[in-house]
Amino acid sequence: MNILLLGSGGREHAIAVKIAQSVLCDRLFIAPGNAGTAQVGENVKLDASDFESVGRFVIEHRVEMLVVGPEAPLVAGIADYFAETASLKHVMVVGPSKQGAMLEGSKDYAKAFMMRHNIPTARYQTFTRETLKEGEAFLDTLQAPYVLKADGLAAGKGVLIESDLATAKAHLGEMLGGKFGEASANVVIEEYLSGIELSVFVLTDGSHYLLLPSAKDYKRIGEGDTGLNTGGMGSVSPVPFADKEFMKKVEDRIVKPTVRGLREEKIDYCGFIFVGLMNVAGDPYVIEYNVRMGDPETESVFPRIKSDVVELFVNAARGTLDRCTLSIDPRTAACVMMVAGGYPEGYEKGKVIDLGVDAPDVQVFHCGTKKGENDELLTNGGRVICTTALAATLPEALLKSYDRAATIRWDGKYNRRDIGQDLLKLMI
């Protein structure tokens, strides 16, 4: 079949590589893609928010499966558009309905869903401009640090964690006053959870699910998790402390009730659920849901999937995921992200990239790259390229990934040198 994948990051390159390996895939289109996806499929210029153009392309190119990488088109309802359009409803869509995507699109909706289904998460309340005073009073009842979250999508910037009560109250006022536009018209205030974060990924057809490998990402720009937040500076899969016992808790207390909740509430959901978790003294709590794969978690999770992903997607779309089993590479994957100098603040694009020397068991995924006029490889974003190595142990995987990353060069390249180090310390 012909398949269209929406997105342009490292996540999409990693997904594209797996789709292209499937015997079920004839032509793979990626819109808009990057220089890496162009090596495994055909990039097409399409705006994912323009559903009509996407639909026209799908019909013209006899696409039978649409795989949606990022959240924005899902939150905007692309799955519903396909389901409700006569000429498109035969297309299998990997990505939830607009209502399912609310799990990411609205923090208040996600929290209320968790409450309804007894899923462990931080205690919370939601406030509006009209209930600012009540919000301040709620902050008084909490211990520092204070966690304030814009309800809607805010490009990953909508969460503020503040240790001073007066400043937290001031932030609440600013957020409700429009600091993040419409996204912070409602603000969720929640209890701070202290522990180690990890991500768990699920593929579901809305009734059944497969648990994909766990991963940990590194969000801050600076080593030792300091400095500004980024899209993610590296990832590791699996997470060593997510052992059988912990993962059983995650499955019983979080994954099963989440999928059961979707089914009970008749929410159409074929796609990924990315559960951001905090391990609080051995017990998992949900920090957030995302309705897509993570980036750069995908770059360490997908290389470990040995099953045919298109076969999984077909069964997810048909509601027969219970017929599938997952085959996972037991090795550890370590992904090191290389970014443009200055990122996540201002940075330049268009630097010529030297891709360095290939190494066994190391894959290079493109994030923000494009081909120049003379076919040279150019930087085209903040997160530019990453290396993922597979090895028997985490230290070996890190070493291989870093060795490969060191051979990649461009003017201003930066990467953290401490990916995975916190996990190594925990293992000793």
Q: Where do contacts with ligand AMP occur on this chain (CB under 6 A)? A: 122, 147, 159, 190, 192-193, 197, 276, 287-288
233 contact, one of ligand GLY, ligand AMP, none, CB 5-8 Å limit per kind:
none
At position 129, the amino acid (one-letter code) is: R
Q: Minimum distance from CB of 166 to ligand GLY (Å)?
A: 31
67: Cβ–Cβ under 8 A, 6 or more apart, which residues? 3, 4, 5, 6, 15, 19, 94, 95, 313
Phi, psi of 180 (to 5 degrees): -115, 30
Gap between the Cα atoms of 96 and 410, Å rounded = 38
Gap between the Cα atoms of 3 and 24, Å rounded = 10
The CA R_g of the chain, rounded to the nearest whole Å, is: 21
57 contact, one of ligand GLY, ligand AMP, none, CB 5-8 Å limit per kind:
none
CA distances from 127 to 107, 112, 142, 182 (A): 12, 13, 15, 14
CA distances from 226 to 154, 157, 386 (A): 21, 16, 20
> Does residue 217 touch ligand GLY according to CB under 6 A?
yes
Segment near ligand GLY (CB under 6 A), from 60-68, 127-135, 294-302, 365-373?
294-302
Segment near ligand GLY (CB under 6 A), from 190-198, 289-297, 325-333, 363-371?
289-297
Nearer to ligand GLY, 290 or 363 (CB): 290
> Does residue 104 touch ligand GLY according to CB under 6 A?
no
Among 12, 295, 299, 308, binds ligand GLY (CB under 6 A): 295
217 contact, one of ligand GLY, ligand AMP, none, CB 5-8 Å limit per kind:
ligand GLY
- Determine whether 313 is exposed, middle or buried from the number of CB atoms within 10 Å of its CB (0-12, 13-18, 19+): buried
Nearer to ligand GLY, 136 or 295 (CB): 295
CB 272 within 8 A of CB 213: no
Closest to 313 (Cα-Cα) out of 71, 118, 63: 63
> Does residue 297 touch ligand GLY according to CB under 6 A?
yes
> Does residue 9 touch ligand GLY according to CB under 6 A?
no
> Does residue 22 touch ligand GLY according to CB under 6 A?
no
Among 8, 290, 380, 401, binds ligand GLY (CB under 6 A): 290
192 contact, one of ligand AMP, ligand GLY, none, CB 5-8 Å limit per kind:
ligand AMP
